[in-house]
């Protein structure tokens, strides 16, 4: 059982980056950033519950990992999916330590005044409600355990006015607001809550958008101080860092992982 004070596990003091004997739930783990988070967390010794809709893809990711792994195929916005994930975590046997709320969609490309209202429903349902469903379910367990970590996926899109993806931007700004609120509410229980705001990271989500808009791809690279977009492990490593004891005094924070893109204005 974890306590609000002294959350470090015996034997872990040597290496605050290890996650041995801790179970982490990762949503959207079938590909992209979520699959990378699973690989990095497994390398650090974590046991994992991987959640997404595509069972075959989840199985492929799980088969690479050398720790205890359960897979849950389902929609993150269904409370039943979260319940199955918690059951699977309990079955693994090590305490539920972390949740990475990573599942997300950005399928539309319209100005706000041209966005059909059902697209707001679709995006907010996955990106915001799905994250709230899992944060609520896992947060209750962590609160009762006296400690844990929640990392929510925001985006620099939630911190700027990137055109043509209004519902996505709004969903990610809301994620940051939920993060701060939960950090304040759960801090006294030893549960730390942060969000990570990636810039452009090569994944299926972004590849579709950029191949449909080569001019946008060029602009993004031109505006990056590093002169490139990021790759999935470059987003995953900071996410996993926030799950570790090395991040034990960070909560309510939005960690921007964008290769300097926001700094460049």
Ligand X SMILES: NC(=O)c1ccc[n+]([C@@H]2O[C@H](COP(=O)([O-])OP(=O)(O)OC[C@H]3O[C@@H](n4cnc5c(N)ncnc54)[C@H](OP(=O)(O)O)[C@@H]3O)[C@@H](O)[C@H]2O)c1
Binding residues for ligand X, rule: CB under 6 A, are 27-34, 52-54, 57, 75-77, 102-106, 126, 130, 153, 155, 198, 200-201, 203-206
168 counts as catalytic = yes
Beta-bridge partner residues of 181: none
Minimum distance from residue 6 beta carbon to ligand X (Å) = 33
Q: What is the DSSP letter of 9?
A: P
Please report how close the Cβ of residue 226 comes to ligand X at its closest, in angstroms: 14
DSSP class of 113: G
The rounded distance, in Å, linking the Cα atoms of 117 and 131 is 21
Laid out side by side, the sheet with 254-257 consists of 69-73, 47-52, 23-27, 96-101, 148-153, 191-198, 254-257
Minimum distance from residue 52 beta carbon to ligand X (Å): 4
Structure tokens at 81: 């999916």
Place of tokens 């030893």: 190
7 or 103: CB nearest ligand X: 103
Nearer residue to ligand X within complex by CB, 157 or 186: 157
* Cβ distance to ligand X smaller for residue 7 or 137: 137
Name the catalytic one among 2, 17, 109, 168.
168
Which residues participate in catalysis according to the annotation? Answer: 168
């Amino acid at each position: 059982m974890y306590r609000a004070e002294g959350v470090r596990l015996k034997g872990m003091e040597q290496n605050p980056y290890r996650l041995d004997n801790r179970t982490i739930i990762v949503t959207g783990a079938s590909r992209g950033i979520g699959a990378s988070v699973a690989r990095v967390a497994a390398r650090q010794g974590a046991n994992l519950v991987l959640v997404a809709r595509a069972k075959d893809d989840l199985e492929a990711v799980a088969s690479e990992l050398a720790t205890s792994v359960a897979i849950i195929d389902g929609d993150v916005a269904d409370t039943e999916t979260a319940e199955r994930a918690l059951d699977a975590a309990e079955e693994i046997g090590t305490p539920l330590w972390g949740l990475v709320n990573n599942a997300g969609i950005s399928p539309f490309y319209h100005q706000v005044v041209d966005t059909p209202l059902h697209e707001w429903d679709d995006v907010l349902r996955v990106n915001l409600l799905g994250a709230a469903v899992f944060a609520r379910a896992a947060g209750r367990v962590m609160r009762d355990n006296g400690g844990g970590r929640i990392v929510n996926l925001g985006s620099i899109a939630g911190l700027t006015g990137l055109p043509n993806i209004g519902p996505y931007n709004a969903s990610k700004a809301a994620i940051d607001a939920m993060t701060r609120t939960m950090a304040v509410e759960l801090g006294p229980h030893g549960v730390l809550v942060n969000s990570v705001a990636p810039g452009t990271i090569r994944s299926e989500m972004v590849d579709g958008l950029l191949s449909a808009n080569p001019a946008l791809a060029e602009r993004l690279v031109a505006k990056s101080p590093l002169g490139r977009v990021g790759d999935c492990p470059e987003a995953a490593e900071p996410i996993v860092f926030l799950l570790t004891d090395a991040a034990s005094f960070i909560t309510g924070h939005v960690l921007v992982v964008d290769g300097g893109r926001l700094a460049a204005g």
